[in-house]
Amino acid sequence: MGSRIEILNEGGFRSDGRRQFELREIIIELSPQGVGDGSAIITHGLTQVLVSVYGPREAKSRSHTIHDRANINVEVGVAAFSTGERRKRSRGDKRILEFASTIKSTFEPVIQTNLYPRSQIDIYIQVLQQDGGLLQACINGTTLALINAGIPMIDFVCAVSGGVHSSDPLLDLTTLEEGDAPHITVAMMPKTGKVALVTMETRLHVDRFEQILTLAREAGAVIHREMKKAVLSRSNSLVAVMQSGHLVQERAVDDGMNE
């Protein structure tokens, strides 16, 4: 029996009107309400996460102190209203803990932790809405929040999900598509083209896997452009604010001297 809703119709369109390799709309907001030392809200279609970064700061306990680098602590919380599930996921939920662990291991080699020995960097992820591609949103949001917090990294980490329906590869899957198609999430570093993470939720034929990996790398470059644009726009607005502040100060000094 086929799926109740057509994943890909004869015209090559998906249930939300996108083409096979088309990404959902990406909306990025940096430093919303000044949460933490750096924060970001990223939206992929109907999936939305808020990531807040605190630190580097003194490690909370001896067990969290690493003498030659920073310890990275990742916590993921899911808003009760974010999903159609009746069951509320707690911080101790197995899947949520796996998620946090995956994000930690993805960013440990990318953050220059050796610059901050005996300290801790806390990454708090709050899932606000979910409709597929949750891991990619968490990874992309974490990259942006870390950059926003001024924490040095060797590269951006850009993630996207991909799957196969019948024999048709798809990118940036919704919940409906994830339920119907074997899928993976790929995180890549655009500078080197290296893959930082591949997670497989389901079994996938090796030929399809290579095809999706190639597509995901190309999509990662597109996501990188969007992220870079948001970071540059934020930097430019901060510079403009600082410059206007200096101008106000200079005018005040001039007025004082002229009195």
25-47 per-position pLDDT tens digit: 999 999 876 678 999 999 999 99
Q: Which of 145, 129, 153 is nearest to 70 (CA)?
A: 153
- The answer to whether the CB of 16 falls within 8 A of the CB of 45 is yes
The verdict on pTM exceeding 0.85 is: yes
Q: Would you state the pLDDT for residue 256?
A: 56
Q: Which of 127, 51, 45 is nearest to 93 (CA)?
A: 127
- The count of C-alpha atoms lying within 13 angstroms of the C-alpha of 191, restricted to the half-sphere facing its C-beta, is 7
- Start-to-end C-alpha separation, the chain: 86
Q: Residue 257 above 90 pLDDT?
A: no
Residue ranges and CATH numbers for the domains of the chain are 26-258 (3.30.230.70)
Angle at 77 between CA 66 and CA 195, to 5 degrees: 60
Question: Cα 246 from chain centroid?
Answer: 35
Q: Would you state the pLDDT for residue 205?
A: 83
Q: Residue 237 above 70 pLDDT?
A: yes
φ, ψ dihedrals at 257, nearest 5°? -70, -30
- Where on the phi/psi map is residue 187: left (φ > 0), alpha (ψ -120 to 50), or beta? beta
User: Of 4-13, 146-155, 167-176, 204-213, where does mean pLDDT reach its minimum?
Assistant: 4-13
Q: Would you state the pLDDT for residue 250?
A: 54
Q: Would you state the pLDDT for residue 3?
A: 45
Mean pLDDT to the nearest integer, 12-29? 94
Band (pLDDT 50/70/90 cuts) for residue 81 is confident
Specify the higher pLDDT residue, 133 or 205. 133
Question: Cα 166 from chain centroid?
Answer: 29
Q: Would you state the pLDDT for residue 234?
A: 87
SS (H, E, C) the chain: CCCCCCCECCCCCECCCCCCCCCCCEEEEECHHHCCCEEEEEEECCEEEEEEEEEEEECCCHHHCCCCCCEEEEEEEECHHHCCCCCCCCCCCHHHHHHHHHHHHHHCCCECHHHCCCEEEEEEEEEEECCCCHHHHHHHHHHHHHHHCCCCECCCCEEEEEEEECCEEEECCCHHHHHHCCEEEEEEECCCCEEEEEEECCCCCHHHHHHHHHHHHHHHHHHHHHHHHHHHHHHHHHHHHHHHHHHHHHHHHHHHHHC
